[in-house]
Amino acid sequence: MKQKRHETPLEAIDRMTDNSVVFVGGFGRAGVPERLVEAVCRRKLRGLTIVSNNAGSNVAGIASLLQEGCVGKIICSFPLAREAVAFRDLYDRNLVDLEVVPQGTLAERIRAGGAGLGGVLTPTGVGTDIAEGKPLIEIDGRAFLIERALRADFALIKAYKVDPLGNLIYRKAARNFNPIMAMAADWVIVEAAEEVGIGALDPEHIITPGVYVDAYCAVTRIDQMMEATP
């Protein structure tokens, strides 16, 4: 059986490289794998293209990647939330690029990437700046944009529970983009709140099968190890 378990977030992200396209789960801060994000900052990776719902808030999550200088481009739906101070500063100084994608379109492009499709058709954005340079198709008298599928080199995922096979379940709203991102990345890295034994997860409750997961670490185990250290 492939060894997916890693003792620390730094070990879990050891394959990540500069200039990668990286999915980061989350909606606001719910579902953001903050320990993995911190590890990327510590590695001081550069030139990353981050794909997420938003551009971070205050100094946590994606905002910390921006402050650390890890990000060259962001693809997201909500870049200019009031709390996105780090992004605003870098964008105003032309230090980070931005591609805005409507939230439903973003979810469908990622889902299409995971399903092996080339793209999706959507009426959202027709007649706006979002449609610039994109092909249009008419179906039953209605115009649709052809949006390309999105895939990533790496996905940073937050789960509630993981087993040694990499099977995942999520907790409530923290589920958000994580499952589809896990399907659409070449290498999937998971931060889980808890690790359980094989057979402890009800198969009917597993959202992301372990076949999609390449590496994981359990943050409660890490916390316990730190607390035990004098």
Query: Domain coordinates of the chain in residue numbers?
Result: 9-117+149-228
Reported as a single tens digit per residue, the pLDDT across 52-84 is 999 888 778 899 999 999 999 999 999 987 778
pLDDT score for 221:
54
pLDDT digits (tens, 9 = 90+) for 173-225: 999 999 999 999 999 999 999 999 999 999 999 999 999 999 999 997 555 44
Band of pLDDT at residue 229, cut at 50, 70 and 90: very low
pLDDT score of 224: 45
Q: Which CATH number fits domain 9-117+149-228: 3.40.630.10, 3.65.10.10, 3.40.1080.10, 1.20.1050.10?
A: 3.40.1080.10
CA distance 98 to 199: 43
pTM: 0.92
CA-based nearest residue to 100, from 82, 126, 74, 118: 74
Q: Please compute Rg for the chain using Cα positions.
A: 18
